[in-house]
């Protein structure tokens, strides 16, 4: 098949990330600086004076809606079913308790000062709206290390179930692909997208890109092959006094191909939202939601937190031409409130079960939303990954059910840290999360041992959360890859009179706090338009 310019760039992006694409484009001299993404949102001041809004749910989306509406003069109340704010943005610390449906409550027993993000864990640098609120609220961010080449990858089809450092699989694959491509351009007769001296530049770039070694054979033109000459794929003997490093031999191409580690794991940091840099709030992701909670109200004493009615479980929404009435249970008592407008951020699987007078097509869009199951396991442990494997942050990958092990991006060299000992989505999560907590922990220990020798002994005080088992979530997030998502979200994003939907669930950033914030801004803009028109 002829190699096209686009095909080559896509290959470069997968293997070498943005850097390799930049190099390739720079060679062709058509790199334009991308426009900077920026965020800044504000409703017109005082446009909501005298108007009331009931906000359903105190996750990131509900909190963002309340903050923006309050600044614009609206009087808000937030009804939150749980006794805490933040929704899925849940950070677990010593003494915290949570409970899945049909499972005993789990109380977190980590050492003081340790924390684990049970929901969101990272903020991509392109999520400018989330970052903008962090800036405004003084939420300190630190790098979240998504990928370290020292991380491990385990494949049940790699050798006999082998674990290797990511660098070994990644750079060996990159080297082999560069070698193959170089042979193709050398042979001629191909419909190359570049000609003349650019072909030479392409060759030079491939030598650099793939760490190719020149092979001189008497009587023949030199060729280039991948031999891990520089040691980027791994070092057998480190440099010492008067002794150079001795690189390991590269992994064989067929071994990498059979392992399937390229189908997801080792190339994951090339995906748009996983590219360096990612960030996380210092001390836990819930510090982002807490940033909203502590903001002072614009026109009276108190904070956004003071607008929340905790333990208020919404049961019924009635939308009339002049108001929205919301019924909720509060400590066993049935209550109602009426407001001029309503924003619901209640997760769709929960929302779909509420009683409402919303039109049938709207309710079927809510009921038809496909939810992705998601689950995590968390551990406390002495930092064996630093001591034994030189791992300082990042994620190790496995073809086993646990899928991933995350290492902390902070607290290096301190005695203990927390590990995310499993992070599953979709079918894996469904099968895993249906098991009792103790069984999940047992499996996570056993599968972790295949990545780190001694793992089973080191990890302790485990917790497991399956988000579809949580009463007020019933899922990880709405699946924006589902074929029906686009049509459904269009319906759900349409205001129903005075009723507006928000939450990450109506955006193509579902499963991201950026989506939760964008949806909140969208809903409050819709309310403000209606309020000013009236």
Ligand X SMILES: Cc1cc2nc3c(=O)[nH]c(=O)nc-3n(C[C@H](O)[C@H](O)[C@H](O)COP(=O)(O)OP(=O)(O)OC[C@H]3O[C@@H](n4cnc5c(N)ncnc54)[C@H](O)[C@@H]3O)c2cc1C
Q: Which of residues 468-487 bind ligand X (CB under 6 A)?
A: 472-473, 476-477
> Which candidate, 279, 262, 245, places its Cα nearest to that of 166?
262
319: helix, strand or coil: strand
In sequence order, the β-bridge partners of residue 213 are 225
402 binds ligand X (CB under 6 A): no
Q: Which of 24, 89, 259, 295 binds ligand X (CB under 6 A)?
A: 89
Size of site (CB under 6 A) for ligand X: 40
CB of 491 to ligand X, least distance (A): 18
Q: Quick one: 54 or 261, whose CB is closer to ligand X?
A: 54
Q: Which of 347, 394, 408, 526 binds ligand X (CB under 6 A)?
A: 347
How far is it, in rounded angstroms, from Cα 394 to Cα 414?
17
374 binds ligand X (CB under 6 A): yes
513 binds ligand X (CB under 6 A): yes
348 binds ligand X (CB under 6 A): no
Binding characters for ligand X, 286-315, by CB under 6 A (x = yes): ---------------------------xx-
119 binds ligand X (CB under 6 A): yes
512 binds ligand X (CB under 6 A): yes
Q: Which of 17, 349, 393, 515 binds ligand X (CB under 6 A)?
A: 515
Q: Which of 51, 71, 122, 232 binds ligand X (CB under 6 A)?
A: 122
Q: Quick one: 82 or 356, whose CB is closer to ligand X?
A: 82
Binding characters for ligand X, 224-253, by CB under 6 A (x = yes): ------------------------------
How far is it, in rounded angstroms, from Cα 103 to Cα 115?
22
User: Where is 339: in which H helix or E strand?
Assistant: strand 333-339
Q: Give buried/exposed letters for 191-215 (b at 16+ CB in 10 A, else e).
A: ebbbeeeeeebbbebbbebbbbbee
492 binds ligand X (CB under 6 A): no
376 binds ligand X (CB under 6 A): yes
383 binds ligand X (CB under 6 A): no
> Which candidate, 435, 3, 60, 8, places its Cα nearest to that of 209?
8
Cα angle vertex 532, ends 529, 534, to 5°?
110
- List of residues 6+ apart from 124 with CB closer than 8 A: 272, 273, 274, 275, 278, 512, 514
Q: Which of residues 22-81 bind ligand X (CB under 6 A)?
A: 56-62, 79-81
User: Where is 533: in which H helix or E strand?
Assistant: helix 513-533
Could you give the residue ranges of the DSSP H alpha helices within 154-311?
166-187, 197-210, 253-259, 286-293
Residues that bind ligand X (CB under 6 A): 56-62, 79-82, 87-89, 119-123, 313-314, 345-347, 350, 374, 376, 467, 472-473, 476-477, 503-504, 511-516
């Amino acid at each position: 098949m002829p190699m096209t310019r686009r095909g080559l760039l896509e290959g470069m992006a997968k293997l070498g990330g943005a850097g390799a694409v930049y190099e390739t484009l720079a060679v062709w001299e058509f790199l334009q600086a991308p426009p900077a993404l920026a965020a800044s949102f504000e409703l017109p001041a005082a446009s909501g004076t005298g108007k009331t809004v009931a906000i359903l749910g105190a996750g990131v989306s509900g909190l963002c809606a309340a903050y923006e509406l309050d600044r614009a003069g609206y009087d808000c109340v937030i009804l939150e079913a749980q006794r805490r704010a933040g929704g899925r943005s849940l950070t677990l610390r010593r003494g915290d308790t949570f409970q899945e449906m049909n499972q005993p409550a789990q109380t977190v027993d980590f050492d003081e000062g340790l924390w684990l993000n049970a929901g969101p864990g990272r903020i991509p640098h392109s999520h400018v709206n989330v970052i903008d609120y962090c800036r405004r609220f003084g939420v300190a961010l630190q790098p979240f290390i998504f990928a370290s080449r020292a991380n491990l990858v385990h494949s049940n089809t790699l050798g006999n179930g082998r674990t290797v450092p990511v660098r070994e699989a990644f750079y060996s694959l990159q080297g082999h692909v560069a070698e193959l491509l170089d042979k193709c351009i050398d042979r001629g007769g191909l419909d190359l997208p570049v000609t003349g001296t650019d072909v030479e530049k392409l060759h030079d770039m491939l030598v650099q890109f793939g760490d190719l070694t020149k092979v001189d054979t008497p009587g023949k033109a030199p060729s280039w092959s991948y031999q891990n000459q520089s040691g980027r794929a791994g070092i057998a003997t480190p440099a010492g006094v008067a002794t150079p490093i001795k690189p390991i031999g590269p992994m064989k191409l067929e071994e990498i191909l059979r392992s399937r580690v390229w189908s997801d794991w080792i190339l994951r940091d090339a995906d748009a939202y996983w590219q360096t840099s990612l960030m996380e709030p210092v001390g836990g992701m819930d510090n982002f939601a807490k940033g909203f909670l502590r903001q002072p109200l614009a026109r009276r004493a108190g904070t956004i937190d003071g607008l929340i009615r905790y333990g208020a479980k919404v049961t019924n929404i009635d939308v009339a031409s002049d108001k929205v009435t919301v019924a909720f249970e509060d400590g066993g008592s049935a209550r109602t409130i009426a407001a001029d407008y309503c924003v619901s951020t209640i997760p769709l699987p929960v929302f779909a079960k509420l009683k409402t007078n919303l039109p049938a097509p709207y309710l079927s869009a809510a009921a038809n939303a496909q939810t992705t199951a998601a689950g995590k396991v968390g551990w406390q442990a002495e930092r064996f990954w630093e001591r034994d494997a030189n791992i300082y942050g990042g994620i190790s990958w496995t073809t086993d059910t646990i899928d991933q092990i995350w290492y902390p991006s902070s607290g290096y060299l301190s005695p203990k840290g927390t590990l995310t000992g499993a992070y599953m989505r979709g079918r894996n999560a469904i099968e895993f999360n249906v098991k009792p907590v103790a069984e999940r922990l047992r499996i996570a220990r056993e599968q972790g041992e295949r990545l780190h020798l001694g793992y089973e002994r080191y990890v302790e005080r485990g917790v497991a959360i399956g988000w579809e088992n949580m009463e007020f979530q019933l899922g990880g997030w709405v699946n924006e890859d589902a074929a029906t998502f686009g049509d459904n979200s269009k319906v759900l994003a349409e205001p129903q009179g005075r009723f507006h939907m928000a939450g990450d669930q109506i955006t193509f950033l579902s499963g991201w706090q950026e989506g939760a914030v964008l949806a909140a801004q969208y809903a409050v803009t819709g309310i403000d338009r209606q309020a000013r028109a009236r």
